[in-house]
Amino acid sequence: MNQLEFGKLDVIAVLILFFVCYSIVNAEEGLVAHWSFDENGDQAKDNSHNENVGKVIGSPKRVAGVKGQALEFDKKKKTHVQVADNKSLDIINSITIEAWINPKSVYIGNDWKHRNCVLGKPTAYYLDINEKGNLASYLYGAQPQEWLVGQTNMEKFIGKWVHIATVYDGKNHTLYINGKPEKRVGKKGKIRSVDRMLEIGWVDNERYFDGLIDEVKLWNRALSRDELTAASTLVVEPLNKLSLLWSQIKLAE
């Protein structure tokens, strides 16, 4: 291979790396926090640039997740993750909360204090499974101020991985299950900003999640249906994989 051919390969490699970097940066626009639970110990690392590191309470087990490790939340042991208040968590105009969950049990009864919370910032925003077994979300401040409740009985996903999300764009509030719209209502107004900790796997009272949670992401923008469909079918490699990609490109030369 002559010098000219080597030069062409270098240019191609740089262009490929540029487009990969651009795609990743563009895809992460508006990402407030990403908890993958792949590390061990009593911390839940935030893979965004906002340092919303969580404190793991109750020593939940690390088990195989949809990608890497997941946290096993035990309702009886009151396991959950606490994230200290941070300005980046005050999301007021538009929001997306998404996560992979694998329920061990789903509470069904008449006591709302026992519903299964996935993520919540008290008196601001919530994503959970309500006492009737349906996916639900609540946004304080956005009007009409009422629970958005899905129609699917989440018991069908016990022992199975399912991708869930709630999205608010300032006009509509929508629930998604596996990338498909579950329920949508018109809403408007700003989400309340509060000085409270964010919780994963619990929010207050006895509203603990029971089962596995993985790849929790919080955004300050409304993800599109296409983005959520992709999120429910693809697991994107983190930024630190770029060095591996570069080495593979160099080897290909």
pLDDT for the residue numbered 25: 44
Q: What is the mean pLDDT of residues 59-67?
A: 95
Mean pLDDT, residues 164-177 taken together: 99
Tell me: pLDDT of 42 over 70.
Answer: yes
For 67-205, list the strands marked E by DSSP: 69-73, 80-83, 95-103, 116-121, 125-129, 134-139, 148-153, 162-168, 172-177, 180-186, 198-200
In angstroms, the CA 228 to CA 251 distance is 34
- Residue pair 54/44 in contact (Cβ under 8 Å)? The answer is yes
Can you tell me the mean pLDDT for 152-166?
98
Mean pLDDT of 84-98: 98
Please, are residues 218 and 120 in contact by the beta-carbon 8 Å criterion? Answer: no
Return the pLDDT at 5.
54
* 4 vs 103, more confident: 103
Q: How far apart are CA 184 and CA 199, in angstroms?
A: 25
With contact defined as beta carbons under 8 Å apart, do 235 and 215 qualify? yes
In eight-state DSSP terms, residue 159 is T
Residue 21 is predicted with a pLDDT of: 38
Q: Name the residue with higher pLDDT: 236 or 228.
A: 228
Nearest to 178 by CA among 65, 74, 102, 121: 102
pLDDT for 240 beyond 70: no
Average of per-residue pLDDT across 156-180: 98
Q: Is 108 left (phi over 0), alpha (psi -120 to 50) or beta?
A: beta
φ, ψ of residue 123 in degrees (nearest 5): 60, 25
Selection from 204, 253, 252, 223 nearest residue 7 by Cα: 253
Look at the domain 31-237 and name its fold.
Jelly Rolls (2.60.120)
What would the pLDDT profile of 4-38 be if each residue is shown by its tens digit? 554 544 544 333 344 333 334 456 899 999 999 99
47-56, 121-130, 158-167, 231-240: range with lowest mean pLDDT: 231-240
Tell me the pLDDT tens digit for each residue of 110-158.
999 999 999 999 999 999 999 999 999 999 999 999 999 999 999 999 9
pLDDT tens readout for residues 189-233: 999 999 999 999 999 888 999 999 999 999 999 999 999 999 999
Q: Is 100 strand, coil or helix?
A: strand
| Residues 232, 103: Cα–Cα separation, whole Å | 17
pLDDT value at position 1?
59
